[in-house]
Structure 1
Amino acid sequence: MKKILTLIIILFSSLNLLAQNNDIEMADQLRTDGKIYIVVICIVIILAGLLFYLFALDKRLKLLEKKSANKN
Protein backbone atom coordinates (compact mmCIF):
# COMPACT_ATOMS: atom_id res chain seq x y z
CA MET A 1 0.00 0.00 0.00
CA LYS A 2 2.93 2.33 0.67
CA LYS A 3 4.16 1.82 -2.88
CA ILE A 4 0.80 2.83 -4.30
CA LEU A 5 0.59 5.91 -2.12
CA THR A 6 4.14 6.91 -3.02
CA LEU A 7 3.40 6.43 -6.72
CA ILE A 8 0.28 8.58 -6.51
CA ILE A 9 2.12 11.34 -4.66
CA ILE A 10 4.93 11.35 -7.22
CA LEU A 11 2.42 11.39 -10.07
CA PHE A 12 0.48 14.34 -8.70
CA SER A 13 3.60 16.29 -7.83
CA SER A 14 5.00 15.80 -11.34
CA LEU A 15 1.67 16.84 -12.86
CA ASN A 16 1.75 19.97 -10.71
CA LEU A 17 5.22 20.84 -11.99
CA LEU A 18 4.13 20.31 -15.58
CA ALA A 19 1.00 22.43 -15.10
CA GLN A 20 3.05 25.44 -14.01
CA ASN A 21 4.42 25.99 -17.52
CA ASN A 22 2.16 28.70 -19.01
CA ASP A 23 3.93 29.06 -22.37
CA ILE A 24 1.74 26.54 -24.19
CA GLU A 25 -0.77 28.26 -26.48
CA MET A 26 -2.86 25.15 -27.11
CA ALA A 27 -3.43 24.66 -23.38
CA ASP A 28 -4.43 28.30 -23.03
CA GLN A 29 -6.97 27.93 -25.82
CA LEU A 30 -8.35 24.72 -24.35
CA ARG A 31 -8.54 26.38 -20.94
CA THR A 32 -10.43 29.40 -22.27
CA ASP A 33 -12.87 27.13 -24.12
CA GLY A 34 -13.34 24.96 -21.04
CA LYS A 35 -12.21 21.84 -22.91
CA ILE A 36 -9.10 21.26 -20.81
CA TYR A 37 -11.26 19.55 -18.21
CA ILE A 38 -12.39 16.99 -20.79
CA VAL A 39 -8.76 16.24 -21.61
CA VAL A 40 -7.88 15.86 -17.94
CA ILE A 41 -10.89 13.62 -17.31
CA CYS A 42 -9.93 11.38 -20.24
CA ILE A 43 -6.36 11.05 -18.97
CA VAL A 44 -7.59 10.22 -15.46
CA ILE A 45 -10.00 7.59 -16.82
CA ILE A 46 -7.25 5.97 -18.90
CA LEU A 47 -4.82 5.91 -15.97
CA ALA A 48 -7.48 4.55 -13.62
CA GLY A 49 -8.28 1.79 -16.12
CA LEU A 50 -4.63 0.86 -16.44
CA LEU A 51 -4.17 0.78 -12.67
CA PHE A 52 -7.29 -1.36 -12.24
CA TYR A 53 -6.05 -3.76 -14.90
CA LEU A 54 -2.61 -4.03 -13.31
CA PHE A 55 -4.01 -4.69 -9.84
CA ALA A 56 -6.44 -7.30 -11.19
CA LEU A 57 -3.58 -8.97 -13.06
CA ASP A 58 -1.42 -8.95 -9.95
CA LYS A 59 -4.21 -10.54 -7.93
CA ARG A 60 -4.62 -13.32 -10.50
CA LEU A 61 -0.88 -13.95 -10.59
CA LYS A 62 -0.74 -14.25 -6.81
CA LEU A 63 -3.54 -16.84 -6.93
CA LEU A 64 -1.69 -18.82 -9.59
CA GLU A 65 1.53 -18.69 -7.56
CA LYS A 66 -0.29 -20.02 -4.51
CA LYS A 67 -1.83 -22.85 -6.53
CA SER A 68 1.51 -23.82 -8.04
CA ALA A 69 3.20 -23.68 -4.61
CA ASN A 70 0.53 -25.98 -3.19
CA LYS A 71 1.03 -28.51 -6.00
CA ASN A 72 4.77 -28.66 -5.42
Structure 2
Amino acid sequence: MPRLLRFFLLLCTCVPALTLFGQGAEAPAPDFLRSIGKMYVVVAVIVVVFLGLAYYLWRLDRRLTNIENQIEDHA
Protein backbone atom coordinates (compact mmCIF):
# COMPACT_ATOMS: atom_id res chain seq x y z
CA MET A 1 0.00 0.00 0.00
CA PRO A 2 1.54 3.35 -0.99
CA ARG A 3 2.61 5.68 1.80
CA LEU A 4 0.41 8.51 0.56
CA LEU A 5 -2.69 6.31 0.66
CA ARG A 6 -1.85 5.14 4.18
CA PHE A 7 -1.41 8.76 5.29
CA PHE A 8 -4.74 9.72 3.72
CA LEU A 9 -6.54 6.84 5.46
CA LEU A 10 -4.94 7.75 8.77
CA LEU A 11 -6.01 11.36 8.32
CA CYS A 12 -9.59 10.29 7.55
CA THR A 13 -9.73 8.23 10.73
CA CYS A 14 -8.21 10.93 12.96
CA VAL A 15 -10.34 13.89 11.88
CA PRO A 16 -13.58 12.62 13.50
CA ALA A 17 -11.68 11.94 16.73
CA LEU A 18 -10.25 15.47 16.73
CA THR A 19 -13.70 17.02 16.39
CA LEU A 20 -14.78 15.36 19.63
CA PHE A 21 -12.40 17.56 21.62
CA GLY A 22 -14.36 20.69 20.73
CA GLN A 23 -17.68 19.39 22.05
CA GLY A 24 -17.33 21.14 25.43
CA ALA A 25 -17.43 24.68 24.03
CA GLU A 26 -20.79 25.89 22.81
CA ALA A 27 -21.14 28.06 19.76
CA PRO A 28 -22.98 31.34 20.37
CA ALA A 29 -25.61 30.74 17.67
CA PRO A 30 -25.47 27.15 16.35
CA ASP A 31 -28.56 27.60 14.17
CA PHE A 32 -27.58 30.91 12.62
CA LEU A 33 -26.31 29.51 9.32
CA ARG A 34 -29.18 27.06 9.14
CA SER A 35 -31.74 29.79 9.79
CA ILE A 36 -30.52 31.94 6.89
CA GLY A 37 -30.15 28.93 4.58
CA LYS A 38 -26.38 29.05 4.25
CA MET A 39 -25.59 25.86 6.15
CA TYR A 40 -25.95 23.75 3.03
CA VAL A 41 -23.65 26.08 1.09
CA VAL A 42 -20.97 25.71 3.75
CA VAL A 43 -21.33 21.92 3.76
CA ALA A 44 -21.23 21.82 -0.05
CA VAL A 45 -18.05 23.91 -0.16
CA ILE A 46 -16.37 21.71 2.45
CA VAL A 47 -17.32 18.56 0.52
CA VAL A 48 -16.07 19.98 -2.77
CA VAL A 49 -12.75 21.03 -1.23
CA PHE A 50 -12.33 17.63 0.44
CA LEU A 51 -13.12 15.74 -2.77
CA GLY A 52 -10.75 17.99 -4.72
CA LEU A 53 -7.92 17.30 -2.28
CA ALA A 54 -8.64 13.57 -2.31
CA TYR A 55 -8.60 13.52 -6.13
CA TYR A 56 -5.37 15.53 -6.22
CA LEU A 57 -3.65 13.16 -3.78
CA TRP A 58 -4.89 10.14 -5.73
CA ARG A 59 -3.53 11.52 -9.02
CA LEU A 60 -0.24 12.50 -7.38
CA ASP A 61 0.13 9.00 -5.95
CA ARG A 62 -0.47 7.45 -9.39
CA ARG A 63 2.11 9.72 -11.01
CA LEU A 64 4.70 9.00 -8.34
CA THR A 65 4.07 5.27 -8.65
CA ASN A 66 4.64 5.50 -12.41
CA ILE A 67 7.87 7.43 -11.90
CA GLU A 68 9.06 4.90 -9.31
CA ASN A 69 8.32 2.05 -11.74
CA GLN A 70 10.28 3.80 -14.48
CA ILE A 71 13.26 4.27 -12.17
CA GLU A 72 13.17 0.57 -11.21
CA ASP A 73 12.98 -0.44 -14.88
CA HIS A 74 16.08 1.61 -15.76
CA ALA A 75 18.09 0.44 -12.78
TM-score under structure 2 normalisation? 0.68
How many residue pairs get aligned? The number is 70
Which has a greater percent of helix?
A: 1
Deviation at 1:6, TM superposition (A): 4.4
Q: What's the Cα RMSD here?
A: 2.3
Match of 2:40 in 1: 37
**1-structure distance, mates of 2:34, 2:6:** 34
Q: 1:62 to 1:8 in 2, by over 3 A?
A: same
Match of 2:12 in 1: 8
Deviation at 1:3, TM superposition (A): 5.6
Look up the SS of the partner of 2:27 in the other structure: coil
Runs of 4+ in 1 over 6 A off after TM superposition: none
Structure 2 gap segments, 5+ residues each: none
Q: 1:17 to 1:33 in 2, by over 3 A?
A: farther
TM-score under structure 1 normalisation? 0.70
Match of 2:54 among 51, 54, 58: 51
Structure with bigger RCO (C-alpha 8 Å, 6+ apart)? 2
Structure 1 gap segments, 5+ residues each: none
The letter for the 1-side match of 2:14 is: I
Match of 1:70 in 2: 73
